[in-house]
Amino acid sequence: MTDAPKNVVYCGVCTFPPEYCEFGASLPRCQKWLEANHPDLFTALYSVGGNVVAGEKGALDELDSDSKKLAKAIGKEEAKLKRVQEKKASTMIVIKRIERTKKKRVTSVLNLEVFDVELKKAAKQFASRFACGSSVSKNNQNLEEIVIQGDVSEEVKAYILQTWKTIPEKNIQLIEEKKKKKPEEEV
Amino acid sequence: MFKKVHPKEDIASQSQVKSSVQRNIRTKLLDQMPELEKHLDELMPKKAALTVVKLREHISLVVVNGEVLFFNHFDEAYYPTLKLLHKYPALLPKLQVDRGAIRFVLSGANIMCPGLTSPGARMDVSLPEGRVVAIMAEGKEHALAVGITKMSTDDIRQVNKGHGVDTIHYLGDQLWKSLFE
Ligand SMILES: [Zn+2]
C-alpha cells in the first residue's frame, strides 16, 4: 500500500466519483462527459461484456421500481434542461435608457437572471465598474430589474458580453424610453 | 449534519487560530487518526494559516489555505471531508453497505443495521460505539459518506435492527457541494 495521495476523478456534471453517477438524475449527461473526458473510465464503468451500454435508460441494470423511478427522474431532468435552454434562447436582455428628467437618465437592465446571473451581485459589479449607484428593484410589472444611475447603456452591454461569456450578443437589446412628450393626449 | 447548514452561507464567525490552539487541533486529529501522521506536515504545514470557521449549530470547519479539511460538532470527534478521505482512504476504518443502501445514504439517511450485515455488506473491523468511519459501498471503490457508529460492530451484527451508523457527511450534501464552488 502506498502513502501517496490518491488522485480521484470527479464527474464534471454531478461532482460525484463517476462510479456514483448512476444514482443521480443527470446520468445521461454524466456519461457523455465521462466519455469525452475520460474514455478509459467510461469503458470500465459502462461497458458490459465488451458492449458499451447505451446511455439513457440502458445503463439501468435492473428494471425494478427503483430504476423506473430513476428513469422518470432522468426524463424530468432532461425536459427541464431543455426548457431552460429554450427559455435562454428566446429571452432578450433589455437594456433601457430612461429619461427621468431633462438632465437625469438612468439605465435599466431586465432578464439577466434568465442567464443564471445573480442580480444583486451584478448590480454591485455595475456600481463598481461604472462608479455610480446601482440596485435591484421591482418595475411596474413586478419584475426584478437592475437600475443604474446614469446613462451607460452601451457600456453595460459591453460589460455583460465580457463578463458572462455564455450570453450571446443577439440576446441583448438596447432601447430608449423618452419622457412622454404629449401628456395631454392621455387625458 | 450538512443537509441544511451551508458551509458558506451560515458562517457565525471565522478566525485564524493561535499556534497553541493549532497544536491542540493537531494533537486531537493525530489521536483520532494515527494514519494522519504521515501526511499532516503536507496537509497542514506548520507555517500555513489555519482558520477555524464556526457555522450555525455548533459545527466548526478546519480550513488550511482556503481548503476545508476537517470538521466537528461542539468539541467532539473530527471528521475528514470526503474529498480528503478519497485522497487518503486509510484515514478511517471502513464499513461497507450493500448496493441497496446506497441511494438512501446519498439522501442523507442514517444507516440501518441490515444494510451492514446483508451479503453485499462488509464489516472487516471490530469497532466500538462512537467511532468515526468511512462508509464504502458494494462494488464501489470510493467512500460515499463518513459517519459515526451508534452501536459496536458486534452489536450491529447481533441486534441487526435500528440505526447502526449515523450518516454525518455524504456525497451531494451542502459541505460536499461547497468543496466544488
Ligand atoms: Zn456524474
What CATH number is associated with residue B162? Answer: 3.10.400.20
Residue B117 included in any domain? yes
Average pLDDT over residues B98-124: 95
Overall size of chain A counted in residues: 187
Q: What pLDDT, in 10s, does the model give residues A17-57? A: 999 999 988 999 999 999 999 999 999 998 865 444 544 44
Last residue of a domain, one of B79, B100, B131: B79
**Residue B41 sits in the same domain as residue B62:** yes
| ipTM score | 0.93
**Residue B68 sits in the same domain as residue B132:** no
Using the mean position of ligand 1's atoms as its centre, give its distance from the Cα of residue A68 in Å.
19
Contacts of A17 in chain B (CB under 8 A): 86, 140-142, 171
Question: In the prediction, which pLDDT does A147 show?
Answer: 94
Q: Is B73 on the interface with A (CB under 8 A)?
A: no
Query: Dmax over Cα atoms in chain A, in whole Å?
Result: 87
Q: Tell if the CB–CB gap between A19 and B38 is shorter than 8 Å.
A: no
pTM of structure: 0.70
Using the mean position of ligand 1's atoms as its centre, give its distance from the Cα of residue A57 in Å.
15
Question: In the prediction, which pLDDT does B29 show?
Answer: 95
The mean pLDDT value of chain B amounts to: 93
Nearest to B103 by CA among B180, B39, B181, B167: B167
Residue-range definition of the domain harbouring residue B116: 87-175
Question: In the prediction, which pLDDT does A65 show?
Answer: 65
Question: In the prediction, which pLDDT does A51 show?
Answer: 46
Grid cell 428513469 in the structure block, residue: A71
Last residue of a domain, one of B79, B104, B120: B79
Residue B97 included in any domain? yes
Q: What pLDDT, in 10s, does the model give residues A125-164? A: 999 998 989 999 988 888 899 999 989 999 999 999 999 9
Question: In the prediction, which pLDDT does B89 show?
Answer: 96
Average pLDDT over residues A164-173: 90
**Residue B52 sits in the same domain as residue B113:** no
**Residue B95 sits in the same domain as residue B162:** yes
B160 compared with A180, residue with greater pLDDT:
B160
B148 compared with A103, residue with greater pLDDT:
B148
Q: How far apart are CA B156 and CA B123, in angstroms?
A: 10
Q: Is B33 on the interface with A (CB under 8 A)?
A: no
Q: Tell if the CB–CB gap between B87 and A8 is shorter than 8 Å.
A: yes
Using the mean position of ligand 1's atoms as its centre, give its distance from the Cα of residue A124 in Å.
34
Q: Compute the Cα dihedral for B11, B16, B21, B23 and give only its sign.
A: positive
Nearest to B100 by CA among B114, B79, B86, B89: B114
Question: In the prediction, which pLDDT does A183 show?
Answer: 53
**Residue B100 sits in the same domain as residue B164:** yes
Q: How far apart are CA B55 and CA B51, in angstroms?
A: 13
**Does residue A182 surpass a pLDDT of 50?**
yes
Q: Going edge to edge, which strands form the sheet with B67-73?
A: B11-16, B50-55, B59-64, B67-73, B78-80
User: Do residues B173 and B145 lie in contact, with contact meaning Cβ atoms separated by under 8 Å?
Assistant: no
**Residue B96 sits in the same domain as residue B157:** yes
DSSP letter, residue A49: T
**Does residue A76 surpass a pLDDT of 60?**
yes
Average pLDDT over residues B158-181: 94
**Residue B107 sits in the same domain as residue B171:** yes
Ranges for all domains in chain A classified under CATH 3.30.780.10: 91-177
Q: Tell if the CB–CB gap between B144 and A66 is shorter than 8 Å.
A: no
A6, A14, A20 member nearest B87 (Cβ): A6
SS3 per residue for chain B: CCCCCCCCCCEEEEEECCHHHHHHHHHHHHHHCHHHHHCHHHHCCCCCCEEEEEEHHHEEEEEECCEEEEEEECCCCEEECHHHHHHCHHHCCEEEECHHHHHHHCCCCCEECHHHHCCCCECCCCCCCCCEEEEEECCCCCCCEEEEECCCHHHHHHHCCCEEEEEEEECCCHHHHHCCC
Average pLDDT over residues A3-30: 93
Q: How far apart are CA B42 and CA B67, in angstroms?
A: 13
Q: Which of B37, B103, B107, B173 is most worth mutating to test chain A (most A CB atoms within 10 A of its CB)?
A: B103
**Residue B107 sits in the same domain as residue B75:** no
Question: In the prediction, which pLDDT does A71 show?
Answer: 78
Overall size of chain B counted in residues: 181
Domain count within chain B? 2
**Residue B127 sits in the same domain as residue B167:** yes
**Does residue A64 surpass a pLDDT of 70?**
no
**Residue B40 sits in the same domain as residue B92:** no
Last residue of a domain, one of B55, B79, B103: B79
**Does residue A62 surpass a pLDDT of 80?**
no
Q: What pLDDT, in 10s, does the model give residues B10-69? A: 888 888 888 899 999 999 999 999 999 999 988 998 888 899 999 988 999 999 988 999
Q: What pLDDT, in 10s, does the model give residues B37-47? A: 999 988 998 88
Per cent of chain B over pLDDT 90 is 78
**Residue B33 sits in the same domain as residue B56:** yes
Question: In the prediction, which pLDDT does B12 show?
Answer: 86
Q: Tell if the CB–CB gap between A5 and B90 is shorter than 8 Å.
A: no
**Residue B95 sits in the same domain as residue B149:** yes
Per cent of chain B over pLDDT 70 is 100
Q: What pLDDT, in 10s, does the model give residues A87-136? A: 888 888 999 998 888 888 899 999 999 898 989 999 999 999 989 899 99
pLDDT confidence band for B141 (50 / 70 / 90): very high
**Other Cβ atoms within 10 Å of A89 Cβ, number:** 10
Task: Decide which of 3.40.50.620, 3.30.780.10, 3.10.310.10, 3.40.50.1970 is the CATH code for A91-177.
Answer: 3.30.780.10
**CA-angle at B13, arms to B7 and B18, nearest 5°:** 110
Q: How far apart are CA B61 and CA B167, in angstroms?
A: 17
Question: In the prediction, which pLDDT does A48 show?
Answer: 67
Compute the 3-state secondary structure of chain A and give helix, strand, coil in percent, each to the nearest 5. Answer: 50, 20, 35
Question: In the prediction, which pLDDT does A107 show?
Answer: 94
Residue B74 included in any domain? yes
